[in-house]
Amino acid sequence: MSNNEKTEKILIYIGNTVRRELRLTDNPILHHISELLSKNRTPFTHLLPIYVFPARQIEISGFLSPNTNTSDGAVSDTAIASLPKPPSEVESPYPPARSVVGQFHRCGPHRARFWAESVWDFKSSLETVGSGLAIRVGRIDDILEYVLDYFKSGKGNSASVRCEVVGVWITAEEGVAEKTDERNVFRVAGMKGVNVRTWKDEKFLVDDRDLTYMTPKEIPDTFSEFKKAVGPLRDAPRKPLPPPDMLPPLPTRVPPQPNPFIVPNSLEGWVYGLLKPLEEDPMAMVTPPYSIGARSQHTYHGGEAYALEHLRNIIGSGRITAFKDPRRGIIGEDCGTKLAAWLALGCVTARQVHEYLLDFEGGKTRLGQYAKGYGEGENKGTAGIRLELLWRDYLRLCSRKYGCKLFRLEGFKGEIDRQWKHADDIDIKQQVQRFMGGNTGNPIIDAILREMYLTGYTSYRGRDVVAKYFSKQLGIDWRIGAEWFEYCLVDYDVSEFWGNWQYCAGVGNDPSWEVPPVKIGEVPEMYVKQWASDDSI
């Protein structure tokens, strides 16, 4: 080592969709690094944040390329747009991201776009605090192995720089696939002699450290019991963490995207690459386009900045005070906060939402000062939002308790006596196809299905009605309906999604979960007219 040679001690902060931490604020890892930095106590000089779009969950074949990658793993925008269709001999090392039973794409266009926007926004935010983000596609452990080998083999070195990876940090998450990813990260890092540290997932309302359950078995089977154990909800959450002031820089050389993929360096390039395989699939055209005059309830852009702007808007306008029980309302601005997609990707945390509500209720900031309910303490609307957020916590804990039962036909309950119809029967297959196309002939069901397909969103009530129609009325294997929802929804979140579906299908753990059926007049005629097919009205 020459006298002038510097050593870059690199910490890798790695995540993928299941490590959903796409924000600077209330991010425990980034907060900790920033604190260490301010005290001059970082045992590393450089930070390499890596985000991996996981091949298992989103179709990444739009990034396959016969060309070898460039030195930094990124190509220009125009380059990705003009990439020739990969010749058939360029094969992905990963199977297509399709669902298990129905073989649908797991992630449809609404979520793919929102997801790309959120990752890109995170990259921009990291750049404002002196860092950056390497965005990659593949499997988290494959990418990690490639990166560790890159540095170990000296590819990151130059005449004056020597690189050494000193650790890998990752946030622990619930879920079977999530745990497998985590184990694989440990395995790869262990093989290469690098330490991994996992961090607690803090994007929920009530912190794990404040719950009294020693083992997952102790998690209660009813929400009401769980709620009681949490105590007064308004006092339960911890304070959100501030964003980092500054972060260590990226290493001088960032390992590129491994072959056979090539990744873009603009948001448009990412959106293009993620949507391309979906657009080439005939499933993208299952239902007619928007009806004239139809408007989406969900027109939002992914990313932390947009999440916070939306949150401030609904507080400033007083919409949170008017928040209605989502188990009853089916459409409208005050029917739901529309925060779910941001929460699902970790662009914002539940305790940040809670903190904003506290400020509004206590009149602590000027936000919402002219709105109804400002400074008047907790109201029905704000309490309702907290309760919904607690449901989210609860279903995540159910995932912890029941593991892979989350995805099983017999559910948490182990309901083995029920007879389900399966799509290997031609009539059932056709029924499923009509369902996907919003052509069941039932105007409310069709309106909801079309809304969800065309916009990526429908209310809790809409989801509940359709999920019950599919599983209870049609009696078809509920996982097929669920997989179709997974393709369509912008806010898919593993525990919330499968947990809710289980309840709708009647295989969930909580016997008290029953939402009243839709009443005549509850669904505005206008809504049905906007979304349902003319011939089914």
Ligand X SMILES: Cc1cc2nc3c(=O)[nH]c(=O)nc-3n(C[C@H](O)[C@H](O)[C@H](O)COP(=O)(O)OP(=O)(O)OC[C@H]3O[C@@H](n4cnc5c(N)ncnc54)[C@H](O)[C@@H]3O)c2cc1C
Q: State which H helix or E strand residue 16 sits in.
A: strand 6-16
Distance (Å, whole) CA 144 – CA 122: 20
Residues 6+ away with beta carbon under 8 Å from 376: 361, 363
Contact between 205 and ligand X (CB under 6 A)? no
Distance (Å, whole) CA 121 – CA 494: 22
Strand blocks (E) in 28-81: 46-54, 74-75
* Stretch of residues binding ligand X (CB under 6 A), selected from 28-36, 108-116, 235-243, 384-392: 384-392
Distance (Å, whole) CA 464 – CA 471: 11
Calculate ∠ Cα 202-126-240, nearest 5°.
30
Complex with ligand X: residue 152 or 227, whichever CB lies closer: 227
> Which residue number is nearest to ligand X in terms of Cβ?
336
Q: How far is the CB of 385 from ligand X (least distance, A)?
A: 6
Q: Which of 23, 106, 203, 338 binds ligand X (CB under 6 A)?
A: 338
Q: How far is the CB of 342 from ligand X (least distance, A)?
A: 8
491 is in an annotated binding site: yes
Contact between 201 and ligand X (CB under 6 A)? no
Distance (Å, whole) CA 49 – CA 13: 5
Q: How far is the CB of 157 from ligand X (least distance, A)?
A: 45
493 is in an annotated binding site: yes
Tokens matching residue 14: 């790695």
Q: Which of 44, 360, 453, 460 binds ligand X (CB under 6 A)?
A: 460
Contact between 340 and ligand X (CB under 6 A)? yes
Q: Which of 173, 388, 477, 510 binds ligand X (CB under 6 A)?
A: 388
Contact between 399 and ligand X (CB under 6 A)? no
Q: How far is the CB of 533 from ligand X (least distance, A)?
A: 22
Q: Which of 53, 104, 356, 497 binds ligand X (CB under 6 A)?
A: 497
Position of tokens 């050593």?
Answer: 7
Contact between 371 and ligand X (CB under 6 A)? no
Residues 6+ away with beta carbon under 8 Å from 61: 86, 92, 96, 277
Tokens matching residue 334: 């005050």
Distance (Å, whole) CA 235 – CA 32: 25
Contact between 391 and ligand X (CB under 6 A)? yes
For residue 135, list its beta bridge partners.
Answer: 51
Tokens matching residue 109: 């266009």
Closest CA to 409 of 341, 483, 477: 477
What DSSP character marks residue 284? G
Contact between 337 and ligand X (CB under 6 A)? yes
* Stretch of residues binding ligand X (CB under 6 A), selected from 33-41, 45-53, 125-133, 489-497: 489-497
492 is in an annotated binding site: yes
Q: Which of 49, 244, 256, 326 binds ligand X (CB under 6 A)?
A: 326
* Stretch of residues binding ligand X (CB under 6 A), selected from 182-190, 219-227, 249-257, 488-496: 488-496
Output the known binding site for FAD: 491-493
Positions in the binding site for ligand X (CB under 6 A): 326, 336-340, 343-344, 385, 388-389, 391-392, 395, 459-460, 463-464, 467, 485, 489, 491-493, 496-497, 500-501, 504
